[in-house]
Structure 1
Amino acid sequence: MKNQFYLKNFKSKWIKYNNYELREDSKGDIYIIPSDNSNYTIYDPFEKSSNILFDLIDLGDTALKNINDKEAIYNKVMVFVKNYGLLGLISSSVYNRDIIGEQNVLFAQNNIISATLDLDSNVMNSDDYIKLFTPFAGEDDLYTREFDEHLTVVKAEDSPKFYGKKPLVLDIVFSKFYAERVDWIIEYAKNISENLNQMLIYKNANLTEPVEIMPDKFNPHKIGFTVAMFERPQINWDFDSLQMAMDMIYAFALTDEDRILNRCSYCNKPFFAKTEREKYCSPSCRNCANVIKSRNKKKALEEQVTLNENKQELEDTVHEKIKTQEKIQTTENAQTDLVEKKIENILDIIDKRIIESVKKRSVDIKKYEGGEDDMKNEKRKQAIYEYKEKKTTGGVYKITNTQTGKSLIKGEIDLQSMQNRFNFSVSINSCLNIKLQKDWNQYGAKSFTFEVLEETEMKPEMDRRQFKKYLNELAEKYTENMPAEELY
């Protein structure tokens, strides 16, 4: 099968119990240990290579993703240990081949156990080290004694004993009194999961020379083997721990030439691919990924359409603003023309009055060197001077939206001119202030009214700039106590 990995020429033995439980020691550390009424079975880890590998990586992934969800992680640990047994970390964490009978143990480099202990050196007393893994065993439950000049482990329960080349410490590992801290098992699973992740990163990095993958966390040692013969030659691995067996299975899985250990691009679970192009662990994941790609493509097209529509709307708004400014400019030009016409009309009236006055009063035109034209020019200059010297009257006006009640309050030097601009804007339906534009479009020009709130004359000591500033301050006094929602 596609996802099966079986090292058929390899053999080994390990033990597992059918039931485990969690216990807390006197220091508050949580251990996992076989239940009192549990039964053991012996199995070959290599016959379950694929299951062990993928379950171990799944445990590591769960621990990395759900770092604060202890219940979910502990449940995964319990299932894993029930399926495959404890890891035998008492053996795999030290260089000693057999711990029983030796005075001290020497910790292996970058091991999981010593990282959790407060030690001054890399050496620990053997008896204290064994107690780390048997915290719930009494003096009569598990002890060693010398028999015929040899040491033996005495256990107050029925569990396998090994003789010959197997280290004596395995008698402790396979007993019901042997326990391992949950955080040790979790840390080992995380190391394997992180190692696989790092391997996949290096895989796509176009390396120019070999790179060791996380040697500080994945550094197998103490692996021995013998060659045996049954139907054909086979390698019998002398593993002192399940961890060593799993290290070997993982290493062979990474380097297998017929299969490529990868992660599914959809569910992220590990699987064996036949080619580098194979990205999904199952047809279901491939179909789900294709659905997501299709949806993302559709979403991208919709977003592009929306972007284009927004772009067009923005362009239309800009064009509308330009048109509005042009209309305003046209209005201002029209108003300027109107003022000029008014001046011309005034001058014409002055000319007519001058002529009438001359006729009625028999004014002597001869005293003007240029005659009648010179007289007209003189009178015109006087009239224009009087028009310019007329006192400037400004004030504050309010444009109100009768539909919403909102108002625009501004100061203006020439109120009459502003009134004319407003009337002209209403007549051609062209908004004269950008703040009113949205409501102007929605409610129409006839929904707005113009009102003079206050009129005032410009003081002699003021210029037009100072007068404008004064009018703006006057307008602010009208708005300072008004709610913001009532103002544009």
Structure 2
Amino acid sequence: MHKAPEDELKSMVLRFINSYGFLGFMTALPTTAEFITYESVYLPKNHFIKEESLSTESYLDYFYPFDKMDFHKKGVESSWSVSDKDGIAIALATGKNPQAVTMSFQKEYAERYDWLVKEFSDWAFTFTTSFLYYLDYDRLDEQTKNLYRQGMSAFGGISPTYHIALAENTPVIVWNFHSLLVMIQMCFSFMLTDSDCDMKLCKHCGRAFIASRKGNEFCSPKCKNQYNVY
């Protein structure tokens, strides 16, 4: 798999964050985005936090390492206040969402760089595995195939909730995505299992690319020529 230099990797991560925002680990990791309403935060197994449960305050410390929120919790009761006009506007705009979603859009919110890199790396590994398993299938021994399968089965996370809405002509499913991470992961899963997906892996350089037409195996004419020569 292609490994970018550290300075280039950091630049790409920052460019993603500036363009799309944080992944939303705070609401993606717990068993529910409504964790504020519970006495503790409950966590399924994940790559970032080992504990299965934490106090709400201890969990929030992961995402407010610099400036703390004016947040208070006793049992299942909690309160927090926002004083600056931008924070108030965000709270009003996200009023129907879980409280943690609103909190994750406040200026004090932060996510660890190494967590972001780990998540992006996991997605890249999963994407690469989905191609190499079938590309090299006839050359792989059974042990290696099992390693591929185990690696792929580790991909997953908290599934988004949904509700049924009455649209104009028929009922529709409305997904409740409370983080960018869960949204990407869901779309990524659909993409991996779609045989008509345009996202491919270059047979020469191993980079992901969007194929301009069906059957493209190389990201550029240069890679195609080099592959045929070597």
Asked if Structure 1 and Structure 2 have the same fold, meaning a TM-score greater than 0.5 normalized by the shorter chain, the answer is: yes
Distance 1:177 1:70 in 2: 26
Residue in structure 1 matched with residue 70 of structure 2 by the alignment: 142
Distance 1:125 1:106 in 2: 9
Distance 2:35 2:163 in 1: 22
Residue in structure 2 matched with residue 13 of structure 1 by the alignment: none
Deviations 1:335-382 (A, max 9, x none): xxxxxxxxxxxxxxxxxxxxxxxxxxxxxxxxxxxxxxxxxxxxxxxx
Counting matched residue pairs gives 215
Q: Which amino acid aligns with 2:81?
A: V
Residue in structure 2 matched with residue 289 of structure 1 by the alignment: 223
Residue in structure 2 matched with residue 184 of structure 1 by the alignment: 115
Query: 1:154, CA displacement in angstroms?
Result: 1.7
Give yes or no for contact 1:262–1:271 (8 Å, CA) kept in 2: yes
User: Which residue of 144, 157, 165 maps to 1:220?
Assistant: 157
Q: Which amino acid aligns with 2:43?
A: F
Give yes or no for contact 1:142–1:156 (8 Å, CA) kept in 2: no
Residue in structure 2 matched with residue 238 of structure 1 by the alignment: 176
Distance 1:143 1:71 in 2: 36
What is the Cα-based RMSD across aligned positions, in Å?
3.2
Residue in structure 2 matched with residue 265 of structure 1 by the alignment: 203
Query: 1:236, CA displacement in angstroms?
Result: 2.8
User: Which residue of 50, 62, 71 maps to 2:7?
Assistant: 71
Query: 1:213, CA displacement in angstroms?
Result: 4.8
Residue in structure 1 matched with residue 38 of structure 2 by the alignment: 102
Structure with max Cα Rg: 1
State the percentage of identical aligned residues: 21
Query: 1:92, CA displacement in angstroms?
Result: 1.3
Q: Does 1:131 align with 2:68?
A: no
Query: 1:278, CA displacement in angstroms?
Result: 2.5
Written as runs of structure 1 = structure 2, the 5 A alignment for 1:285-324 is 285-286=220-221, 288-292=222-226, 296=230
Query: 1:99, CA displacement in angstroms?
Result: 2.2
Written as runs of structure 1 = structure 2, the 5 A alignment for 1:165-184 is 166-184=97-115
Distance 2:203 2:179 in 1: 33
For the residue of structure 1 that corresponds to 2:80, the secondary structure is strand
Distance 1:231 1:77 in 2: 42
Written as runs of structure 1 = structure 2, the 5 A alignment for 1:455-474 is none
Residues 79, 136 of structure 1: alpha-carbon distance in 2 compared, 3 angstrom cutoff: same
Q: Which amino acid aligns with 2:66?
A: F
Q: Which amino acid aligns with 1:87?
A: L
Distance 2:206 2:77 in 1: 52
Query: 1:136, CA displacement in angstroms?
Result: 1.5
For the residue of structure 1 that corresponds to 2:35, the secondary structure is coil
Distance 1:294 1:213 in 2: 31
Residues 258, 290 of structure 1: alpha-carbon distance in 2 compared, 3 angstrom cutoff: closer
Distance 1:230 1:136 in 2: 47
Give yes or no for contact 1:89–1:241 (8 Å, CA) kept in 2: yes
Using CA pairs under 8 Å that are at least 6 residues apart, name the structure with larger relative contact order, 1 or 2.
2
Query: 1:194, CA displacement in angstroms?
Result: 0.5
Q: Which amino acid aligns with 1:173?
A: S
Written as runs of structure 1 = structure 2, the 5 A alignment for 1:108-119 is 108-109=44-45, 111-115=46-50
For the residue of structure 1 that corresponds to 2:54, the secondary structure is strand
Give yes or no for contact 1:106–1:124 (8 Å, CA) kept in 2: yes
Residue in structure 2 matched with residue 163 of structure 1 by the alignment: 95
Deviations 1:444-487 (A, max 9, x none): xxxxxxxxxxxxxxxxxxxxxxxxxxxxxxxxxxxxxxxxxxxx
Q: Which amino acid aligns with 1:84?
A: Y
Q: Does 1:201 align with 2:132?
A: yes
For the residue of structure 1 that corresponds to 2:191, the secondary structure is helix
Give yes or no for contact 2:34–2:99 (8 Å, CA) kept in 1: yes
Distance 2:112 2:191 in 1: 27
Give yes or no for contact 1:254–1:260 (8 Å, CA) kept in 2: no
Residue in structure 2 matched with residue 462 of structure 1 by the alignment: none
Deviations 1:306-342 (A, max 9, x none): xxxxxxxxxxxxxxxxxxxxxxxxxxxxxxxxxxxxx
Query: 1:180, CA displacement in angstroms?
Result: 0.4
Deviations 1:243-287 (A, max 9, x none): 100101111111224325421224433234554x42123xxx13x
Q: Does 1:154 align with 2:154?
A: no
Give yes or no for contact 1:144–1:153 (8 Å, CA) kept in 2: yes
Give yes or no for contact 1:264–1:279 (8 Å, CA) kept in 2: yes
Give yes or no for contact 2:162–2:175 (8 Å, CA) kept in 1: yes
User: Which residue of 7, 17, 22 maps to 1:81?
Assistant: 17
Query: 1:191, CA displacement in angstroms?
Result: 0.3
Query: 1:231, CA displacement in angstroms?
Result: 8.5
Provide structure 2 residue ranges, at least 5 long, that are not aligned to the other structure: none
Query: 1:212, CA displacement in angstroms?
Result: 6.0
Give yes or no for contact 2:204–2:226 (8 Å, CA) kept in 1: no
Q: So what's the TM-score if we normalise by structure 1?
A: 0.39
